[in-house]
Amino acid sequence: MTRRKTHRFLQNAESSNVIEAGKPLYKTIRGNWGSEYFRNDNPIVLELACGKGEYTVGLGQAYRNTNFIGVDIKGDRIARGSKAAQLLGLTNVAFLRTDINFLQEFFEAGEVAEIWITFPDPQPRPKQEKHRLTHPRFLTIYKQLLKPGGTLHLKTDNPELFAYSVEQVNANGATDLQFTTDLYKSPLNRIHIGIKTKYEELFHNKGFTINYLQCKMGVI
């Protein structure tokens, strides 16, 4: 492990806005994010595979009356989002270090208002399909965690993953589906209030269009 990564892991251990194994809240936070961490009843929004947390932090800045949680297994990435949120004084932003397969261990049914998936690994090979974050097994988890009528968002530059995702949400009970294959030229772009991740900026500058969908996935 590099010295830089070691520093970031130590930073996570000392940061109150990072929930990870070894901290007391890690085992008790399920169903208690409002009461034990945020200390309010505001809506909870997740960013899955949040990386460095650019979207989590950006949304936290824009919507101070909503609570945002970035979820990722990579501790060195989360550390950057954690530090950015602290420097901005964002008490409505937290990070959870865990594998997305274990979401149900940290959120109870109906605890989440919205889920964002921003530029996930497309897992392009057929044998990787089960790892795509819009695979039916993940969509089933999202439906359980979201409030009735809760919203799922996806942004990706990968057209194959996007086509797959549109097909899967349609086949797995989505309602009010809206999507575009060129977000920046779509009326749906207003939802994004100008937030761009590092990779989004990179892809767009190379001429890639950004695909986006939103739909209702919560069990009604």
Q: Which residues are catalytic?
A: 121
**How many Cβ atoms from other residues are within 10 Å of residue 194's Cβ?**
8
Query: Which value, to the nearest 10 degrees, does the dihedral of the CA atoms of residues 142, 43, 156, 78 take?
Result: -100
Q: How far apart are CA 117 and CA 124, in angstroms?
A: 17
Separation CA 25–CA 32 (nearest Å): 9
Residue 211 contacts residue 162 (beta carbons within 8 Å): yes
> For the CA atoms of the chain, what is the radius of gyration?
17
Angstrom distance (rounded) from CA 57 to CA 142:
22
Q: Which amino acid is at 138?
A: F
Report helix angle 159-171 to 136-145, nearest 10. 60
Q: Which residue has the tokens 């761009």?
A: 196
Bridge partners (DSSP) of residue 44 are 67
Beta strands across the sheet bearing 112-118: 18-19, 93-97, 67-72, 44-48, 112-118, 146-156, 211-216, 175-180
